[in-house]
Amino acid sequence: MTPQEILSIIEKHERWLRRLTGGARAMLALQDLQGHHFSHANLQNCKLSGANLSDCDFTAANLSGADLFAARMTRAVLVNCNLTNADLRGAHLRGARMKSAVLRGADLRGGALLDRRSANTLRMEPSDLRGAEMDDALLANANLAGADLSECSLVGADCTGAQMTGANLSRAVLKNGTFTGADMRGVNLMGSNLTGARLRDCNLAGAMLSGANLRGADLQGANLDGVDLSNVDLLGANFSRAAESFSETIQRILAQHQAWIASSGAKGARANLEGQNLSHIDLNGANLSGANLKRVNLQGAKLRECSLVMADLVDANLQYADLSRSALDGANLRGADLGGARLDAAHFGPVEIKGPDGHDTGRKWPTNLSGTRLAEASLVGTVLRHANLAGADLRGADLTRANLQAATLRGADLAGARTEGAVLPAAHDDEDDDALT
């Protein structure tokens, strides 16, 4: 087909769209159009099924509602192209450039094709988008079920409500993408980069995530049934797991501790969770006072309004945990990692030491935060009176309106910390070596 013939077909198609005399729908099914230029062309609702469109330029073209069933579009340029509601079932888009393309409602499922090797036999051909560049693309409500998107780039793409069951997104770059409400059951995300992705309320049941990077991702409300998170980087990710989803041993220890607390030690047993992995557990409002939590992994845990009075949290991992309004009076957090944690309005004050007769002795047992990492932590309005923060890392921490009266800050690093409205210890308080630790 000559370039002049193609231009004539496009012109007649545009007249057909406007319902003008002499117009005719573009019928280009099975045509070999490799390498042709269709930039800014209006090909809405045209028929291109089975056509060879490899290396074609569709920059800013209108292909909304187009029939591209089983079309070969390898390395095609579809930057800013409108593919709304297009039929792309079984299409080959490997290596295509689709930055900012609009694929809202597009159908990218596999296509049933006649198998030439066996008469009257249909075979399913998955849509092939391997290595495609789809940064900032709009795929809201698109159907990508079973599509091969391995090694593609979807940075900042909007896949809200998309149907992606069984899709292959292994080693894909999905940074800052939006997948809110998407159906991603059984999707392959092995080795993919989902840093900062928004996955709220999406269905990830049975998804494969080994080696995936979900740092800072928002997974609140996501369905993670049957998902193995043991080899997934979830640093700073926002999601929680109910205590009931942990092992029976963990649940039993937590239940016995509650009985121990309620009976003042007469029943149950003090919790010993040393070294356990409780990352992203939801224990909001729980009472874990006096518990042994040495070296426990509580990364990203939900611990709002918890009671951890006199708990042992030495060397615990509490990165990005939410401890807002929690009570940690007298707790031992020596060497713990609270980087990026939310500690707003939490209480790290001293505990009054009582004698054998139950009366106050006048002595105080301060919270031990020596050597603790609190870099980038939020401590707005936090009470740290008499706390031992010797050698603590407070770089970039927000201590706005925090109360550090009589706290020990000897050797602490406060570079870049915000201290507006904070009550800081007097110089002689910081030099006092007699505080209990």
- The position carrying tokens 């990218």 is 108
Question: What's the one-letter identity of residue 80?
Answer: N
Residue 416: the pLDDT is 97
Q: pLDDT tens digit string along 59-102?
A: 999 999 999 999 999 999 999 999 999 999 989 999 999 999 99
Sequence spans of domains, the chain: 252-437
Q: pLDDT tens digit string along 412-434?
A: 999 999 999 999 998 655 544 44
Residue with the larger pLDDT of the pair 144 and 126: 144
User: What is the average per-residue pLDDT within 368-390?
Assistant: 97
Residue 430: the pLDDT is 52
Q: What's the chain's length in residues?
A: 437
Alpha-carbon torsion, ordered 47, 50, 51, 53, to 10 deg = 110
Q: pLDDT tens digit string along 313-356?
A: 999 999 999 999 999 999 999 999 999 999 999 999 999 887 77
Residue 396: the pLDDT is 97
CA–CA separation, 343 and 323 (whole Å): 5
Residue 435: the pLDDT is 38
Q: pLDDT tens digit string along 24-40?
A: 999 999 999 999 999 99
For 102, phi then psi, to 5°, come to -105, 115
Helix, coil or strand: residue 82: strand
Instruction: List, in order, residues 6 or more apart from 164 with CB less than 8 Å away.
Output: 144, 145, 147, 179, 182, 183, 184, 187
Burial group, residue 361, by CB count within 10 angstroms (0-12, 13-18, 19+): exposed
- Of the pLDDT bands very low, low, confident and very high (cuts 50, 70, 90), residue 115 is very low
Q: Which CATH class is domain 252-437?
A: mainly beta
